[in-house]
Each structure stands twice: as structure tokens, then as C-alpha cells.
Structure 1
Amino acid sequence: MKIQPKFRGFICTTAHPAGCAQQVQQQIEFVKKQKPLTGPKKVLVIGASTGYGLASRITAAFGAGADTIGVFFEKPSSGKRTATAGWYNTAEFEKAATEAGYVAKSINGDAFSNEIKEETIQLIKKELGQVDLVVYSLAAPKRVHPVTGEVFSSVLKPIGQPYTNKTVDFHTGKVSELTLEPATDKEILHTVAVMGGEDWKMWMDALEQAGVLAEGTVTIAYSYIGPKITHPIYREGTVGRAKDHLEATARELDAQLKKSGGRAFVSVNKAVVTQSSSAIPVVPLYISLLFKTMKEKGLHEGCIEQMYRLFAEELYSGAPANVDEEGRIRIDNLEMREDVQEQVLSLWNQVDSDNLNEISDLEGYRKDFFQLFGFETEGVDYEADVDPDVQIPSITAE
């Protein structure tokens, strides 16, 4: 069948297997061209199928020669419905890693559940023995608490007072103003329960109790701070409360792991196009202006460039990681450079529907968005018939 992008709101409901495979190969090739890493050898990535999690898995395998286990929640194809992009990404990664001689196994299911944690522990024991790096990169809108059964749903809202600012519909290029009402106390609590550090801590406790953490294990989770423009909706909003909790959890885990020579970190990463960030008002417009600025200055990076830099310069450089006053690694240091932020703010104050294409990189934003789902990828024939039914060897072979 011919597969084209189809949309429901900000969500793309189709994915292209050949396009996803090509993009995974591009990330692999980038890492293989860099200096080999003296890094981890047995790696667990929780949230391993897209974005920073996928880039971390690729960097560990093809940069440091690591065997990996990836956990995620994706859907295989069904009839005329394509699989999700993360399914296709993982199928290609597993194939490439196995051909290169690395162990690459995957688990598909609800990472918040006790059942998936136990299944992962058993797989680690069988395939890796122990792990020396645990990457926590989950992005989910809901969480069923594994103990209480309560269902939590996250929201993207300001706290305390309404927030009004510019936003853009990246499909149409229309710049408009929008107002978001503040979150309730319950919504704040729910967002922290989904996106905070509780589940990360549950994973690390379960892995430690099962004896599958090697001495000196490192664990890392990913966060974002961003510019003052986005603070009311992001860092000072409900998501920011969740990130505060995640960062507090990192300090708690760090003290726990230090007893056996390990460490726990949060890495604050640069703004990139993701399915979730596309749904956050204000953020797509900011990213479009940021991309324009950083590309002009030769500073632009995607997920794979940042993850290689994180591993090479911070986690496995042979020296202690550089951290800020809160103990966070700052891979967003290029985005937050004073000259970059000054230029973005200047553009922000000017931007409207008429000059958007001239002063922003909305086209680059759109392309990155389509590429999340395997579309608009160089070297792929989108007129060709393609089989949407792609297997992930370690899952579908069972």
C-alpha cells in the first residue's frame, strides 16, 4: 500500500516504515562517524522508541558497543492501519544492532506497570546479567498507578493565573494569540504523578532489589527548562512542577547509587520537535524562531547530536560531569546562550502571520515533525507500495 501522512489534530495517525528505517540509519551513521566512546556496555532504555530515548540507545550501541534492552509502548500494524513510528524505529534499530553483533532486545507494554518492570528484570537476567546504564525517557499523557490503580492524566497549563501569548498553527502558518486558564490543584497533582520522578524511582528500586544493577551504575532522565517566553506554560506551569519532582528524585537516587559508586543525573536538553511538544501552545512558534537562529549560527542540533555529546563530553568523558547549581547536566547550553536568546526574543516581538516564513524556520519545524513519522525523508520513494507489517525480531519471534 502507499502510505501518506494523515492527521487528527496535532497527531499524525500514520507512519512510513521505510522513512522511519532511513532515519534510524542516518542516526546510526552519524554516531559511527564520531570518535568511539568509552562508555556503558549493558544498557536499559525506558522509553526507547523515539526522540531522546531512541537516540540514547543508538549512541550506546553504535558509539560504545553496548548491548541494549529497550522498553516502550507502541502499536504494530493492523490491517490497513500502519504501525506507530516507534515500532518501525525499533524494528530497524534491532536489525542493525544485531547485524553489528550487539544484543538488542525489546519489551512492548506499559512501563508504568509492575508487570513490565518484572518482565524487564527477567530479560536483563537472561540476556545481560546486569546493566550499567539506565536511561529513563518516558513521555506519556496518562499513568495508571501500579499500587493504587488510580488513573492520572497530565495537563499543560499555567499555575496561579491565566497566560496569554502568541502561538502558531504550524500546519497553516497562522500566528494568533491564545489564553490558557490556570490548572487546578488536582491537575497539578496528576501532572506530577505522570511526568515526575515517582516511576523512575520505582524502576531503580525494583532493579536494585533484583540485583541487576552493576556496581557504578549511572542513571539519567531528561528534562527541559527553556526561555522566559515559555516559562509560564512550561517551567512555571504544571509540567515544570513535574520536572521539579523529577530533578528532586535525581538527587535522591544519586545519594542511593553513590554507595556503590554510581550516579543519577538529569540532563536538561535543547528544544526539539516531538509529537508532545507540537501540542504545547507557544512552543512550536518558539522552536521555529530558535531553529532559524541556531542554524544561522551553526549551532543547531537534533536528538542524536545532543545524546552523543552528552555521552562523550559529560557521562563518559573520564572527568566528572559538569553540572549547574541544581546538579543538572546542561546540554541546552547552546540554546540558552545569551546571543541566541537575545535574537530569538527580538524575532518573537516581531513575528506575525505575514512575516513568519521570512523570519522563522517554520519549514524546518514542519519537516522535522513529518520526519517523526517517517515522511519527507530523503531517499525514500513515497509513491512506492510498501508493506506496513514490519516485525520487531525480539518481540514478534516469541
Structure 2
Amino acid sequence: MGARKPRGCYGSRGKEVVVSQQVVSPRIRGFIGVNAHPEGCARNVERMAAEARLSGTGGHLRNVLVIGASTGYGLATVLASTFGAGADVLAVCLERPSEEEKTGSAGWYNLVAAQRLAAEEFRTVRVINADAFAEDTKQQVIADLRQHYGPIDLVVYSIAAPRRKDPESDTVWQSALKPIGERYVGPTIDMRTDSVVEVAIEPATDDEIANTVHVMGGEDWALWMHALLDAELLAFGCQTVAYSYVGPEQTHAIYRHGTIGRAKEHLEATAHDLNAEMHQRISGGAWVSVNTAIVTQAAAAIPTVPVYMSVLFKVLREHELFEDTVQHITRMIHDHFSPATPPRPDADGLLRLDDREMLPEVQAEVARRFSAVTTENLLTTTDYPYYKLWFEQLFGFSVPGVDYDAPTEVHRPLVQN
């Protein structure tokens, strides 16, 4: 079911009077959330902000730019920076507002809530809702930074997008989630039936590999950093970080050794080049943070990953090593980006925030259980119930304390002043 309209609840959207309060029920197709519950999203953000305050980052940041800021690790970075590090944040995203009878996207409602909470504490979270790949957006961000912020201490690049337009032509590159070299066959979870099913994916073409690198590699990150450097908006010693994932052997064929992995290799090479340039120009640095596995709409689409994460979460909890997204990012800031703690990369120049996930004892137990997962034991041998709950909560559903039978205001604007 979607949104049901109660009588007598009206609001104006400038064109005509429309119903603004609705009873919103989940509409999830496979791994795609068609709608979102605004109050559920708000409660999620409130919980995450409280976690950021509790965890803290061990230091103060003044101004932070987050590119790709509305969900997942990007949203966690906004909240950890604002409520954990006391920063003013400019958030860049591309989200869908509500329209007549349609709800907005979860990312839209997330940032509406983040702005409200920040204002209550006299902090700044400004939002530019536009295509981060576009040159016009970069210029809009530069103008906003000049008007409303001082020098930027930290730039976070957290984009997950299916396509990107070439800034110098009309070409649109489309990313592909495919293996390279040979057909992939592996397990995944059908959340409609709570069952383990086998999927097969044909290998990528050379064009699909190249296009995925254009979309998900480091090209756009480099364009952002060069624009900000040339505009002289980065503080002396400013750091930038892009998020990545490596994962275990079970996911390598479809992820690290596939088209996405090829893009991540380009991202890491970009970090190496940017790091040298930023060090020379502003004594700054550029890094790739290899983060731990979390539930996102994008991750849910990757075969094998839902099964792996369902097992991983259970093992991490048993070892008392589990972190949610905000705890993970507050640890990243604390350990690598606080004033007293400069980045500490590994031998490959990466910040390995996946250290707990990749502990040998954790991975050995995950591998043992992973190979034995079936539909019959999915609910008992893994943390799939938590995985599914997390997925539903991405869109504001199944959140404790929310009355899903009550009408809720769906037209919630971002603050644009």
C-alpha cells in the first residue's frame, strides 16, 4: 500500500490546495524503496544524532563539506560532524521532495530532520540539492561556502550514483554491477519471501567497465578538489576522504574483482595523486577510507552481500565489535581527522576502518557459517531479521515509537535561506 489521504487535511504547494497529511505505508519493490515515511526518517536521524553526541569525535572541526550527504555513510558524516565534532556542515545531495500525493525520498526527509536538530543547537547544516556531478553545482557550492562558511577543514566524498554525465559533452555514463571475465553465480536473499536464492550475472563488457569507472571512480572527486583548491576555500591542512569497501573473499568476484572494484582502484589512485597535490599546496591530504559493511539500498542490490552481511552482523555482535554507521564515522574522525590525530594509513595508503570486520577470527567464523546458510536456517543462524529491519528503516519504516496508522505531514521543506 502507499499513502492514504484523510479528509480535512490540506496544505498549499503554491499551485493548488493538496492533501499534505497522509497515512504512509511501505512500498518496497525488491531492493528499491518507492516511498518513505517522514516521521520514521526523522526518528532515525534523532537517534543517530544522539549517538553522535554520545560517541564524540575527540576534537572540534569548524567547517565540513559532505558531497553525497543524505543517506548511509554520507548522512552519518553530517551527523557525526555536526553533533560529535561541533562543525558547521554544507551537505550536497540529489533527493526528491514531496509532490502532491507522493512522499519525498528518505534522503530528503533525513536532511530536513538534520537541519531541524542542528538549528535547535544553534549549529548550521545547509543543503544544496543538486546533481553533484554537474559543474553548475560545484560553482553553487563554491558561492555558498564563500557566503556562509569559513575555510573548510574536511571534505568528504560519499557519492553512490547509477549514472554520470560527462561535464564536457552530452555523453551519459551508466555504471554496471557485473563481474569481469566470467559469469558469476552466487546466493542472495529475496526479501519478499525471506529465502536464499541463486542468481547469475553475465560478465561486463569493456565499455561497461570503463563507464563504471567514470561514474564511481575518482574523476569527479578530483574535479571537486581542484575546484575548491583553485577557489582557495580549503583551510591550511585540510583533509579530504572518499569512502570505499573491500570486503571478504566471498564477495570479491562480484565486488572487488568486478566493475565496482575496478572503479574503487581508480578512486584509490586518485587519492594518491590528490594527496601529493594537497600536501604541496596547503599541507593537506587526500585519503580513501575503507569502511565496514552496512545496509544500504545500493548494497542490497549486490548478490551475495545480503547473505554475507546477515552472517557478519551476528558474528560481530557475538564478539561485541558491531558498530552502526554513526559510531563508525565518529571513530573515523576521532582516529584520523581530529586536530590531534592526523590520518594513519596502512602500507597501501588506505585508512582501514574495516579492521574489526576483517579480523581473522571474525572472518573465519563468517566463512564457516556463510557456506551453510539456507532458506531453512536463515532466520536462526544469521542476523537476517536485523538486516531486514535495517533495510526497512532506511525508508523510515519499522522505527520504534512511530504510529504508522496515524496521518503524518509529508510536505516537509528544507531550509533554504
Q: Evaluate the alpha carbon distance shift between residue 308 and residue 197 of structure 1 in structure 2; reply closer, same or farther with a 3 A threshold.
A: same
Aligned to 1:359: 381
The letter for the 1-side match of 2:354 is D
Matches within 5 A, 1:14-93: 14-35=35-56, 37-93=58-114
- 4+ residue stretches of structure 1 with deviation over 3 A? none
State the distance in 1 between where 2:344 and 2:323 align.
19
Q: In structure 2, the residue corresponding to 1:332 is in which secondary structure?
A: coil
Does 2:276 match 1:266? no
Does 2:402 match 1:380? yes
Output one character per residue of 1:57-111: Cα deviation in whole Å (capped at 9) or x when no partner. Answer: 1111111111110000001001111000010000010111122111221100100
**When the two structures are superposed, what TM-score results if normalisation uses the length of structure 1?**
0.97
For the 8 Å contact 2:334–2:341, the answer to whether it is kept is no
Q: CA deviation at 1:210?
A: 1.2
- Please point out which of 191, 203, 222 is paired with 1:201: 222
Aligned to 1:391: 413
Does 2:206 match 1:185? yes
Q: CA deviation at 1:15?
A: 0.5
Count residues with an aligned counterpart: 395
Q: In structure 1, the residue corresponding to 2:131 is in which secondary structure?
A: coil
The letter for the 1-side match of 2:324 is G
Q: In structure 1, the residue corresponding to 2:101 is in which secondary structure?
A: coil
Q: Evaluate the alpha carbon distance shift between residue 265 and residue 36 of structure 1 in structure 2; reply closer, same or farther with a 3 A threshold.
A: closer
Aligned to 2:28: 7
Does 2:179 match 1:158? yes
Q: CA deviation at 1:36?
A: 5.4
For the 8 Å contact 1:110–1:116, the answer to whether it is kept is yes
The letter for the 2-side match of 1:154 is S
- Please point out which of 168, 172, 175 is paired with 1:147: 168
Aligned to 1:336: 358
- Please point out which of 308, 331, 350 is paired with 2:372: 350
State the distance in 1 between where 2:185 and 2:413 align.
46
For the 8 Å contact 1:219–1:263, the answer to whether it is kept is yes
Output one character per residue of 1:188-214: Cα deviation in whole Å (capped at 9) or x when no partner. Answer: 001000000000000001111111111
For the 8 Å contact 1:267–1:329, the answer to whether it is kept is yes
State the distance in 1 between where 2:407 and 2:306 align.
33
The letter for the 2-side match of 1:204 is M
State the distance in 2 between where 1:26 and 1:212 align.
32
State the distance in 2 between where 1:317 and 1:104 align.
21
State the distance in 2 between where 1:291 and 1:132 align.
33
State the distance in 2 between where 1:206 and 1:320 align.
24
Matches within 5 A, 1:219-368: 219-259=240-280, 260-316=282-338, 318-368=340-390
Q: CA deviation at 1:120?
A: 0.3
State the distance in 2 between where 1:379 and 1:180 align.
41
Q: CA deviation at 1:35?
A: 4.0
State the distance in 2 between where 1:369 and 1:54 align.
15
Aligned to 1:99: 120
Output one character per residue of 1:146-204: Cα deviation in whole Å (capped at 9) or x when no partner. Answer: 11221011111110111222222133122122222110000000100000000000000
Q: Evaluate the alpha carbon distance shift between residue 35 and residue 10 of structure 1 in structure 2; reply closer, same or farther with a 3 A threshold.
A: closer
Q: Evaluate the alpha carbon distance shift between residue 387 and residue 35 of structure 1 in structure 2; reply closer, same or farther with a 3 A threshold.
A: closer
Output one character per residue of 1:6-54: Cα deviation in whole Å (capped at 9) or x when no partner. Answer: 0233211110111111111111111111345313211110001111011
Output one character per residue of 1:258-297: Cα deviation in whole Å (capped at 9) or x when no partner. Answer: 1221111110000110000111111111111111111121
Deviates more, 1:361-370 or 1:311-320: 311-320
The letter for the 1-side match of 2:251 is T
The letter for the 2-side match of 1:273 is V
Q: CA deviation at 1:349?
A: 1.3
Q: CA deviation at 1:317?
A: 6.4
For the 8 Å contact 1:131–1:217, the answer to whether it is kept is yes
State the distance in 2 between where 1:221 and 1:118 align.
20
State the distance in 2 between where 1:102 and 1:349 align.
48
Q: In structure 2, the residue corresponding to 1:53 is in which secondary structure?
A: helix
State the distance in 1 between where 2:368 and 2:209 align.
32
The letter for the 2-side match of 1:150 is T
Aligned to 2:238: 217
The letter for the 2-side match of 1:291 is F
Aligned to 2:19: none
For the 8 Å contact 1:170–1:362, the answer to whether it is kept is no
Identify unmatched segments of 5+ residues in structure 2.
1-21
The letter for the 2-side match of 1:189 is A
The letter for the 1-side match of 2:337 is L
Q: Evaluate the alpha carbon distance shift between residue 331 and residue 317 of structure 1 in structure 2; reply closer, same or farther with a 3 A threshold.
A: farther
Identify unmatched segments of 5+ residues in structure 1.
none
Aligned to 1:120: 141
State the distance in 2 between where 1:317 and 1:354 align.
50
